[in-house]
Structure 1
Amino acid sequence: MTESSSATGGEVDQQAQAELLRLRGSIDNIDAAIVHMLAERFKCTQEVGRLKAQYRLPPADPARERDQIQRLRDLAENARLDPAFAEKFLNFIIAEVIRHHERIAGA
């Protein structure tokens, strides 16, 4: 078997390995960007939570949440991302934001 042959017997083509490393590097960079964007988003939602607590507003805003879910589903569809996945992702974030708002209100 030559070095440029397909992966068999545990050997991986050097070009394929290089491409795999390049793609994984891109994935790692994207993951880092996602984490930083989420951190920035949560900084903003913490401020919202403080305002809600100050004005005795409820931690959850179902109308806003519905609008945001639909907006994210539309964005996902336009980006060729599964809208159901995008909705699950946003619901996870919304639940965390509400938890933060409840904690802030109770402080």
Structure 2
Amino acid sequence: MTEQNHALADADSFDPSASSLAGHVDQAVMDELLSIRSSIDNIDATLVYLLAERFKATQKVGVLKATYKLPAGDPGREAAQIARLRRLAEEAHLDPAFAEKFLNFIISEVIRHHEAIAEDHQATIAQA
């Protein structure tokens, strides 16, 4: 089974009603819990797809940076983004420190990808 097919099989076998609480709480409470969790599951799926789209865009940035020998990171842009996301988090009543940690994780992954793209680009040029 390929990695992609394995991931699809895992996603297809997801049981949204799985809970260690089943049989231990009133059914009406369980129904409400499962309803709320269904919304959370939909949001999680949306987050995954949004992150995939974000990384597709940052891959294009990585290719552009590699082509023009620009650095993988851009500290000025990163600082501005962090400040912006902290403000947005505050407006959305989300912990700004959490938003910053989340964005820092994404930024570190993007930089890692940009460095790999630059290495691949340089290797391709060296072979030519």
Same fold judged by TM-score > 0.5? yes
Q: Which amino acid aligns with 2:57?
A: C
The counterpart of 1:77, out of the listed 90, 93, 96, is: 90
Matched residues in 2 for 1:11 and 1:65: separation? 47
The superposition leaves residues 79-101 of structure 1 with CA deviations (integer Å, 9 ceiling, x where unpaired) of 00000000000000000000000
Aligned to 2:34: 21
1:23-42 aligned within 5 A:
23-42=36-55
Matched residues in 2 for 1:11 and 1:75: separation? 39
Q: Which amino acid aligns with 2:77?
A: R
Matched residues in 2 for 1:15 and 1:74: separation? 39
Which structure 1 residue ranges, 5 or more long, are not aligned? 1-9
Task: Find runs of 4+ consecutive structure 1 residues off by over 2 angstroms.
Answer: none
Aligned to 1:11: 24
Which structure 2 residue ranges, 5 or more long, are not aligned? 1-22, 121-128
TM-score w.r.t. the length of structure 1 is 0.89
- The number of residue pairs the alignment matches comes to 98
Is it true that 1:49 corresponds to 2:62 in the alignment?
A: yes
Is it true that 1:88 corresponds to 2:112 in the alignment?
A: no
* RMSD after superposition: 0.8
TM-score w.r.t. the length of structure 2 is 0.75
Structure 1 position 11, deviation (Å): 3.3
Aligned to 2:126: none
